[in-house]
Amino acid sequence: MASVLPNSLTITKPSDSLANSIPGKLTLIVAATGLVAICAHVSLPLPFTAVPLTLQTFAVILVGMVLGPVAGFSAMVLYLAEGAAGLPVFSPHGLGGVAQLMGPTAGYLFSYPLVAACAGLFSRTIRLSSTSFRNGLIAGTIASLPIFIMGAAWMAHLLHLSTAAAWNLGIAPFLIGEVVKVTAAAGIFSSLQRWRKSN
């Protein structure tokens, strides 16, 4: 004989309750800064530019997609604050601390809150495609624009570079890697979306 649970006895997924509670959101935001810091240390200096090749942008885009625009933005602001306070969260191929927020890579770093917000907004709020993977690809591509625009513009200003030099030193060497990172972030985001729907 079938029984019906009362409406008051609804079962909440542990993952949903974690993400929706204030302590849970704070935990995820702090964990997100840890992920970006780890990816920042996966770093390869390039001899022809002051900007190293890192996994940071992959992590920032993924954080935005997974946490959403508000929490993603907050996580990246906290990340910058941690770096400014001297915690070893930035790429090791830099001056560290506040000096790194004033150096050649500062434009890239300061783009991160905007990047995470864009990735979260376009992947979760504005449905650009019928699948979460394609939606993630489009969102990640849009979110990558502030990285290159702000990063190259600041480097050109600081180092007195021409537009062509800023392109060659701050954008062109990283385009193929960014395609790979956006694709990986979209794939992980899509897998997480499917997992959430199946549980």
The answer to whether the beta carbons of residues 71 and 113 sit under 8 Å apart is no
| Residue extents of the structural domains in the chain | 21-198
Residue 8 pLDDT? 42
Q: Looking at residues 92-107, what average pLDDT do you find?
A: 92
The percentage of the chain sitting over the pLDDT mark of 70, rounded to a whole number, equals 88
Q: Is the pLDDT of residue 114 over 80?
A: yes
Complete DSSP assignment for the chain:
------GGGPPPPHHHHHHHSHHHHHHHHHHHHHHHHHHHTSEE--TT-SSPEESHHHHHHHHHHHH-HHHHHHHHHHHHHHHHTT-TTS-SSS--HHHHTTSTTHHHHHHHHHHHHHHHIIIIIS--SSSHHHHHHHHHHHHHHHHHHHHHHHHHHHHT--HHHHHHHHTGGGHHHHHHHHHHHHHHHHHHHHHHHH-
CATH architecture group of domain 21-198:
Orthogonal Bundle (1.10)
Task: State residue 18's pLDDT score.
Answer: 57
Q: What is the mean pLDDT of residues 160-186?
A: 96
Residue 14, pLDDT > 80, answer no
Lowest mean pLDDT among 18-32, 50-64, 111-125: 18-32
pLDDT of 23: 87
Using the structure block, give the residue that is written with the tokens 């193929």. 176
Mean pLDDT of 147-165: 96
Confidence category of residue 17, pLDDT binned at 50, 70, 90: low
Q: Is residue 93 pLDDT above 80, yes or no?
A: yes
Contact 67, 29 (CB under 8 A): yes
Q: What angle do CA 40, 28, 92 make, to 5 degrees?
A: 15
